Amino acid sequence: MGSRAIVPAWNFAQKYGIPKAHGSYDSLLKDPTVDAVYIATPHPMHLEWVLKAAKAGKHILCEKPLGMNASEAKRMIEAVRKHRVFFMEAFMYRCHPQTRKLVQLITSGLIGEVRLIEASFCFNNPVDPKHRLFNKKLGGGGILDIGCYPVSFVRLVAGASQGKLFADPIQTKSFLHQGKTGVDEWAIAALKFKGDILAEVSCATRAQKDNTARICGSKGTLTLERPWFASWGPGKSKITFQKNWNSPKRDIWIKSDRGLYAVEADEVGYCLQKGLKQSPVMSWADSLGNAKVLDEWMK
């Protein structure tokens, strides 16, 4: 456990039964008993600590988004490749059985050719200039913090429809509202993929939405009520299939024996056991492609 001061580090470590605590991140990276680190600092600090962790030979799980832009993401990937360490962007929903099942349903041809994809991540918070979501210096705004989820989702689905792990859009059109603190508070974007697959993504820190995801194909529609938080702990989630608007709906249930963030940790552990440097769940090329779309959206 590493923190900026030893007292909170020890308090956290004792609360969760962690045997060691460090009063600085540098101290943690010097610890030879530490094999891997999870970087969950505010967005603008990801680059610094990914570079330092890679140089220290530590495997890395880094919170989304990887960096403030695609240029930072590229520098991180170059560093982890140079130092030969594992590196993954922490999109926990990508590791959940619900997402794996969704990919299987799409590749099976259940809904035919994918034509439209919709995904949103929105909530309504009061403006607080000191909070990282509304502080430009801390990487505030909805697009980087939560817009990255629907973008990664539609790229995953578009890729699955083509038999690939992901796909990058060939065209992006976007709009956003900038608040008084200088960050985007609600935004929407339209993405066009190969094969005339069209996607709509939205995010907001000051507007509530149902936050569902929907994939419309030539033979039916798949709807996810909880695409990002399928199940916090062990439990069930569902994907709903409907052939036509007047057809009966069919719920496809997915069981998970592990919690949402536990399955993410399991994915990292599995990759390390196999000697992999990146995970097919969220590869380096996938993360870099996501960062490029976020750059376009923020323009």
Residue-number span of the structural domain to which 268 is assigned: 92-298
Strand order in the sheet with 87-90: 36-39, 59-63, 87-90
Tell whether 187 is covered by a domain: yes
CATH of the domain at 289: 3.30.360.10
Strand pairing category for 59-63 and 36-39: parallel
Within the chain, residue ranges assigned H as helices are 6-15, 25-29, 46-55, 70-83, 97-107, 142, 148-161, 260-274, 284-298
Tell whether 99 is covered by a domain: yes
Same structural domain, 61 and 117: no
Same structural domain, 137 and 38: no
Of 90, 121, 149, the last residue of a domain is 90
pLDDT 10s per residue in the chain (299 long)?
899 999 999 999 999 999 999 999 999 999 999 999 999 999 999 999 999 999 999 999 999 999 999 999 999 999 999 999 999 999 999 999 999 999 999 999 999 999 999 999 999 999 999 999 999 999 999 999 999 999 999 999 999 999 999 999 999 999 999 999 999 999 999 999 999 999 999 999 999 999 999 999 999 999 999 999 998 889 999 999 999 999 999 999 999 999 999 999 999 999 999 999 999 999 999 999 999 999 999 98
Within 108-259, residue ranges assigned H as helices are 142, 148-161
Same structural domain, 234 and 164: yes
**Amino acid 178: pLDDT:** 97
Same structural domain, 63 and 114: no
**Amino acid 33: pLDDT:** 95
Tokens of 57: 């030979």
User: Count of domains in the chain?
Assistant: 2
Of 35, 68, 90, the last residue of a domain is 90
CATH of the domain at 16: 3.40.50.720
138 DSSP assignment: G
Same structural domain, 157 and 35: no
**278-291 burial, b if ≥16 CB within 10 A, otherwise e?**
bbebbbbebbbbbb
Same structural domain, 70 and 100: no
Tell whether 1 is covered by a domain: no
Same structural domain, 65 and 156: no
**Amino acid 233: pLDDT:** 86
Same structural domain, 137 and 260: yes
Same structural domain, 59 and 148: no
**Amino acid 258: pLDDT:** 93
Of 29, 60, 90, the last residue of a domain is 90
Per DSSP, the three-state class of 198 is strand
Counting Cα atoms < 13 Å in the Cβ hemisphere of 164 gives 14
Whether 280 and 287 have beta carbons less than 8 Å apart is answered as: no
Same structural domain, 65 and 210: no
